[in-house]
Amino acid sequence: MAPNLDPAVERLPVDERRTLQGQRLRDLVARLDAVDTPWWQGKLADVDATAIRSVDDLARLPFTVKAEFREQYPFGMLAVPLEDTVRVHASSGTSGKPTIVAYTAHDIELFAEVNARALRCAGALPQHVIHVAYGYGLFTGGLGLHYGVEALGATAVPAGGGNTAFQTTLLADLGATGLCATPSFAMLLAERAAADGVAGIGLRWGVFGAEPWSEGMRAKLESAWSAVTGAPFDACDIYGLSEVIGPGVAQEAPQSKGALFVFDDHFLPEIVDPDTGDPVADGSHGELVLTTLTKQAQPVLRYRTGDVTRFVDDHCPSGRTHRRIERLKGRVDDMLVIRGVNVFPKEIEAVLMDDAAVGAQYAVVIDERATLQRLEVRGELTSADDLTRLEAVQDRLERALASRLRLSVDVRLAGPGQMPRQETGKAQRVFRWAADQPDPYPVQAVSSA
């Protein structure tokens, strides 16, 4: 099959989409009920497949959690014979076995379709040149967006990560209109283009994901690229995860920033209480749960993503009728507990990025060398002019962080450009400093003297 890029699909009346979702859910469960493998027979042992008739019956199905991917490593969760698959991707986990996800040729077409939708939602057109600076390989980001660019009929530049000087030259020489990257690498490219005085870059929009980023980071990204290009720039969020398909699960539109369309004709969303698994009240925050309605090789039923968000039901001028979710608040399993206080790293970023004197690079260090943990935030100043008011900036940040987090925080600032830059992969922001260990993220603090 060819990817379905008919815009009308994204503007179906809500009742028609709900009927379509119910049909696809019913067909999916019937198909999985017939899969003769220990995994699927066990997963659906307590489910009457004939009772699944609409999305109202979703709660009759069991949840799926990430640990099951590792328990069934590598191919225990397949719903088709291995010989019917054409590709595997893997998660970028740092410990234990990776999360392996397989794809049929149909799934690859679907992967291309939803990424093409995401790109179009962000402002991409077939005549655009689109620079893809996500990593390629087992990570889903690079190939997912790359296939989406091609399905859209645009021109893909498969740049990958690293080599910022060469990439900024390519951005200018090849006339890219769009950029796909992690937000941290997109900022690094903007900094490099500005420092080298690269002329002729015509970027107008970017699709950024694979790591958390705040509204403050959006403002800094848009400002940095507008300064480079001399024109407005839209930074839009993309959401996905390898267990579901990769990028292309949900996408933000420039007309309604702050919430993302979930492509719910393929990925059926729920939001549940992380502790009980029960649905939350309308508009309340909870854990995002996704069911893949159309995947063949490795579908998931009610996958608990660990991501905290809420449904947003206000109107979007784009005319799309997919359900929208608020930009992620954080992750259930990434929440830090510091002296009994729950802290999401994204909340720290939001405070830092709202301060004009602070640049886009930062790190959170949890000092565990003493009995009571100490939270330290390390950042860098935007310009040398801020050195004269260093103590005022640090004091301002410490007060703002204490107000937002309800927790005392120590702030250490480095000079402009002095914090390490990470040119590949997802930016690591949180570090733990254990007893008898060296500083995990050494930064030379500056003085106001």
Domains annotated on the chain, with CATH: 1-331 (3.40.50.12780), 336-433 (3.30.300.30)
Cβ count near 248 (within 10 Å): 29
Mean pLDDT of 327-354: 84
**Whether residue 353 has pLDDT greater than 80:** yes
- Tens digits of per-residue pLDDT, 381-435? 998 887 888 899 999 999 999 998 888 999 999 999 888 888 877 888 899 998 8
| Planar angle of CA 138, 140, 141, nearest 5 degrees | 125
C-alpha span between 178 and 200 (Å, rounded): 14
Which range among 7-11, 96-100, 410-414 shows the weakest confidence by mean pLDDT?
96-100
Best CA proximity match to 59, nearest among 243, 262, 323, 277: 277
Mean pLDDT of 226-250: 97
pLDDT band at 21 (very low <50, low <70, confident <90, very high): very high
Look at the chain and count its residues: 449
- Tens digits of per-residue pLDDT, 268-303? 999 999 999 999 998 999 999 999 999 999 999 999
Mean pLDDT of 339-355: 86
What one-letter code names the amino acid at 398? E
Best CA proximity match to 432, nearest among 363, 371, 379: 363
Mean pLDDT of 112-127: 97
pLDDT band at 92 (very low <50, low <70, confident <90, very high): low
Q: What is the pTM of this model?
A: 0.83
State residue 130's pLDDT score. 98
Residue 178: exposure state from Cβ atoms within 10 A (0-12, 13-18, ≥19): buried
CA dist 380 → 251, 360, 402, 414 (Å)? 30, 8, 19, 4
**Whether residue 96 has pLDDT greater than 70:** no
**Whether residue 359 has pLDDT greater than 70:** yes
Alpha-helical segments (H) within 305-430: 345-353, 390-405
Mean pLDDT of 173-189: 96
Residues 6+ apart with CB under 8 A from 319: 11
